[in-house]
Structure 1
């Protein structure tokens, strides 16, 4: 039993550790950067209901420039000024992809509507697999064929928001470089920091929440195809049950949907869905959770240090990973993680419930087959906790030419409240 717990503790989950990494970055002349790109803003909506389409992927065709919509369907897409013509493809699971001329995009209020897919897929002849576990085995065995096989430098935007009950109390954001190793390599990916900012309402935030370990590594390690050991290795598939769900479609690709569930439920156990391309057996998307009903073991997995008199345990752990395709090769494109945990204090009537939402989206990338990574002080460790930089939130030009995920209205309101609280306390 102890051996199993030790293995689980090394999972890429949102741990807590009291280490603070102070970060700094140079501020370049904002107007010079502003002149180098055009920024287009708008919303992606369901064409029938008008509802926001979250996590929709917008990509400038013929390039690696991309972004995703926030939970309210809003997007911001920055294109270098030298690119005056082109098309942007907008896609999301369950919707028909749409290719739109760059001329259609406006500085503000660009409305894009996506149509749902209503095609009956179960009878389509491309779905020939009849053994779900064997399909997953094939998926894992074809990593070298289907995924990037060169060292790759990725630019990504990372956001981590901490909420206590219904109130946002902390927000950290960063532009990072992911030094991605080939998918067939055993080497771990590295992350270096370009710029970052953070703001927190410390009067509403227990010190526990300030010690969350991992930062962008939590999202990066959810990359199932690069790190199968964190979910299931090829030789461990007998520890799971697999079954087919109704198939679906994305970007005109037909996808198997495979449900999976860990058999042994004595310890925290994984369950979720895999979306697998019917033609190439590539994993296109994964959505999975960790059942944490076993509070004692779950606490050991997540809590590395806590104050005396406090009991901390997770109550909900969810992950999502999306892959993108370019020239027949797939790569990490977007990852999100959500952790809810409860803090019970001795001699306190009510507990405190926290929700930590983090997401990371790759916005640009290039292959670097000959490059050898030389680490410097911008490289992050897995124990990173970003320091505060309140001023960054007041500068609308802070991110410059970097593509980011637009902040939700709830986050924007939270920052305003946090700033007012900080101003009153100074």
Structure 2
């Protein structure tokens, strides 16, 4: 139930006009407080007293790990027209400390340098396909859908559900830096010169932000969401962009793959605000594999997967749970503040209120604490009411079968590049159960679709011609007529997970390209 209601969209545009100026002033204040100039004439005082003097004059309260600062150490609190950051650096005398602002709190924490992957030699290359696996440094568990990109270009990808990634590197990117980010973890940066030919494991260290409970409890989640909506124009841009992406979709019955389609696509991304134009998609190349024969009593196909990926850009199309119109039907709670790259994000959980018997979403949305950009959202249709959405997901049921959705889950993320956020990754996982009348057993189908953006461009962007447009509301697999074994060439794509890889290899099409992808 995405918020495509025209009335809701008009209300959101009105909110932008009313509150954008207020949010911009708030953000500007947070940015400038550390650069503001202050004068103190207290002389020699204890460090704890010095911080109290700063709090009284600035209105900002301090929070920090007591192991980082000795409040009894005496310091000279005499400054004239000195920036707050310089004052803190002087009285704390610790180069490893960093300062972050969250509302009226100034958080002092220890700077942790980014670890660097070491290598003994640099391998010259023109084009190289690098692969790796992103895992938790403590548990070794893979991190699905982590963002992997080149720091100074719009080139990038995401890891698959098994934490694996692959990326084509050209010689002109030799001096760039590979950046890896994942919510709740310290970011990693690796010089591109050290990556070619390395099927390496990248270990990400979880970062726990020591935030007093009072900071979380005093925040109002609805106000944070209002600020995020108001900041859309500033964060996501008001000019079009050209995105290149990899799209795939498939249907599995038990552990057998019935059909699998994939494509390299271009997306004309219309401005997030101030434009009535919609997004467009054109297919650069596509292929499919089918594993359906006459012995199958029921076949399932996915319809409108491409258009659903565009619709799930909830910043542009307004997620139902951030719509001011729908918010009274939800309850919200801030459950955590987690790190992301060098910043942090509010974690806001949401669920429909008791007494609301229409199927709504439940899940979590992650909002940057500094610029209020929506970074990520994981959500699902409430299982208690999902049966009411049967007609929304099943366009035509086979005669003699009753089919209904069991779970419908979505994941959407955004990536920041050149101070602008772009759609980064969309994933949908749906489970359906089908039962033939007068039969005892059910059949379960797992349907998935996924879009990973691999390149972004904002220069000289033009809309596509009508004849170039993909039929995004159709059954995508039916628009593809063949399977091309030389499909990928130098294109970026999501590496198949082990279960999908095995399913592909179990089919009649056994291709060398899939065998090679097992060797990491």
Give yes or no for TM over 0.5.
yes
Match among 406, 431, 439 for residue 315 of structure 1 = 406
Which runs of no fewer than 5 residues in structure 1 stay unpaired? 9-34
Query: Cα RMSD over matched residues?
Result: 2.7
**TM-score, length basis structure 1:** 0.84
Contact 2:142–2:163 (CA under 8 A) maintained in structure 1: yes
Between 257-266 and 237-246, report the one with greater CA deviation.
Answer: 257-266
Say which one has the larger Rg: 2
SS in 2 for 1:226: helix
1:240 aligned partner = 330
In structure 2, do the counterparts of structure 1 residues 90 and 285 end up closer, same or farther at CA, with 3 Å as the change threshold? same
Tell me if 1:419 matches 2:490.
no
* C-alpha distance after superposition, 1:56-93 (max 9, x if no partner): 21111110000111122211111223332221111111
Q: What is the deviation of 1:208?
A: 4.4
1:301 aligned partner = 392
2:225 aligned partner = 136
In structure 2, do the counterparts of structure 1 residues 365 and 196 end up closer, same or farther at CA, with 3 Å as the change threshold? same
CA distance in 1, matches of 2:297, 2:449: 19
2:436 aligned partner = 345
In structure 2, do the counterparts of structure 1 residues 352 and 326 end up closer, same or farther at CA, with 3 Å as the change threshold? same
2:193 aligned partner = 103
* C-alpha distance after superposition, 1:366-408 (max 9, x if no partner): 115652432224523312322456643xx3x521222111111
Q: Tell me the matched-pair count.
A: 388
Between 56-65 and 142-151, report the one with greater CA deviation.
Answer: 142-151
SS in 2 for 1:371: coil
In structure 2, do the counterparts of structure 1 residues 133 and 38 end up closer, same or farther at CA, with 3 Å as the change threshold? same
Contact 1:292–1:314 (CA under 8 A) maintained in structure 2: no
Which is richer in helix? 2
Q: What is the deviation of 1:219?
A: 2.2
2:53 aligned partner = none
Which runs of no fewer than 5 residues in structure 2 stay unpaired? 6-124, 512-520
Q: How does 1:15-414 map to 2 (within 5 A)?
A: 37-122=127-212, 130-184=219-273, 185-203=275-293, 207-210=298-301, 212-228=302-318, 231-263=321-353, 265-294=356-385, 297-368=388-459, 371-387=462-478, 391-392=483-484, 395=485, 397-414=486-503
SS in 2 for 1:134: helix
Q: What is the deviation of 1:259?
A: 1.2
CA distance in 2, matches of 1:37, 1:374: 32
Moved over 3 A (4+): 4-8, 121-125, 203-208, 229-232, 292-296, 387-391
Q: What is the deviation of 1:225?
A: 0.6
